[in-house]
Structure 1
């Protein structure tokens, strides 16, 4: 299994910021349980998010939980990808950021062999640069998943990623631009399943392109409701 299939949702924050560490006590259970304490209005926590709707939703959940606990929150949402926001996190401009443990580990350690959630968490804690720490994983997940249309699955007898190697139609995978170089992208599909797959950087239109037929495999985050509403088949 690819690391991405075992990742959980978590937040990372600057270790020197006490509130980011204090929130970890809530993250292991109910992240919205603020307890009976009050932080006062003098504390301001800066929370960032990726330029993706589900990541922004998680960031907003953390923001509202902190506000309910009495903190002032500075929202810096829709920043971009890791090369854009991690420097801001490392230098203290951002205090807290929702993240994906598998992909974040691969960002810092491209040669990692961790696959289970527990191994990924342990390896990530060791791989992070000084000054950053990982809070407890939330129970909710939003992970990469490869999807095809129901018709394409039926026409090609597709039930799993391993079945892609038997498809005679040229395969094109669509997703965010960085997917092309990810270990579980086209190279990973070839190495693990023997499936030769082209790539198209479809970004925000990935599902639309899949339905239109310009690609035939789509990397869709598992929390996307269109997997259900468009009757997609997850491999």
Structure 2
């Protein structure tokens, strides 16, 4: 529907009179340049992080000379994914772990390993859809436990091993979580089995729905004594309210690292896209994404402004 290329600069004004053969050559070349002067379409999901990363892609490509058609915050995962496959958009940020559902391979242990999951989804999408996954950001936006900063510092809590040992040793943990997180076999029960701890019913505040904003707020405000929250790894409110994500060192949860996915035809025609985008995503670690998301969610800043400020401050654009 919409194809891609760089924006061609306006032709320079010609001074004097050109020789007849030069004029003919110029006129013959003009239709070719016009045919190539088309857009690249950037999409994203409708959520906060989708808007942030989609704007980064759009700004980077525009800065590199591409004409960009803006389809940021196009819709939910299924909508944006189908738009990419159909060629209605050319690139958007997706999460590696979603490959398990795209290809109905939820039982594959590769999704629990950062490198293996990325390699598997890259291979499957290249073979079946001619889609290319660029370099993922080193930030896992999956289910996690986050502890109040004061409690984490007092008890030297950085990883789930630390957390499990603390709880098993009588640590006064109080978790705010959704019923799904508490009951789903691959959520809290999986964490407890892997890290050797068990929270009693008296140590859990179970909230309706799965909104992490509610669990984060409960832990931050110590509602009913809570000091731990069910979160997603890159939640924007975490850094703002002083919660520390416990690292899942055993890979209990599937890894959801954000990565740009681009149509193969687009990348084949413009291989420089990889060089433009990869260095930026390599800098988007967990705390960086938390901070950028917080600027949007907590401070109320526009996602495009936050994206541009980051790219300017890090020297990716002028």
Q: Which of 86, 109, 112 matches 2:108?
A: 112
Structure-2 change in CA distance of 1:46 and 1:169 (3 Å)? same
Contact 1:210-1:218 at 8 Å conserved across structures: no
Normalized against structure 1, the TM-score is what? Answer: 0.63
In structure 2, the residue corresponding to 1:43 is in which secondary structure?
coil
What's 2:119 paired with? 122
Structure-2 change in CA distance of 1:159 and 1:122 (3 Å)? closer
Equivalenced residues, count: 198
Structure-2 change in CA distance of 1:46 and 1:209 (3 Å)? farther
Normalized against structure 2, the TM-score is what? Answer: 0.49
Higher helix share: 2
User: What is the RMSD of the two structures over their aligned residues, measured on CA atoms?
Assistant: 3.9
Whole-Å Cα distance in 2 between the matches of residues 181 and 65 of structure 1?
42
In structure 1, the residue corresponding to 2:68 is in which secondary structure?
strand
Higher strand share: 1
Deviation at 1:170, TM superposition (A): 5.7
1:82-104 CA-partner distances (Å, limit 9, x unpaired): 23422222222222111222x22
Contact 1:148-1:218 at 8 Å conserved across structures: no
Structure-2 change in CA distance of 1:42 and 1:18 (3 Å)? closer
Instruction: Compare CA radii of gyration and give the structure with the larger one.
Output: 2
Where does the alignment leave 5 or more consecutive residues of structure 2 unmatched?
6-32, 247-318
1:87-126 CA-partner distances (Å, limit 9, x unpaired): 222222222111222x223333211212443322221123
Deviation at 1:60, TM superposition (A): 0.8
Q: 1:78-227 residue pairs with structure 2 within 5 A?
A: 78-101=73-96, 103-107=97-101, 108=103, 109-114=105-110, 115-128=112-125, 130-138=128-136, 141=139, 143-144=141-142, 145-153=144-152, 158-162=157-161, 163-164=163-164, 166=168, 171-173=175-177, 185-195=187-197, 200=207, 201-214=210-223, 216-222=228-234, 224=236, 226-227=237-238
1:49-96 CA-partner distances (Å, limit 9, x unpaired): 223323321111111122223333222222444234222222222221
Where does the alignment leave 5 or more consecutive residues of structure 1 unmatched?
1-15, 20-37
What's 2:245 paired with? 234
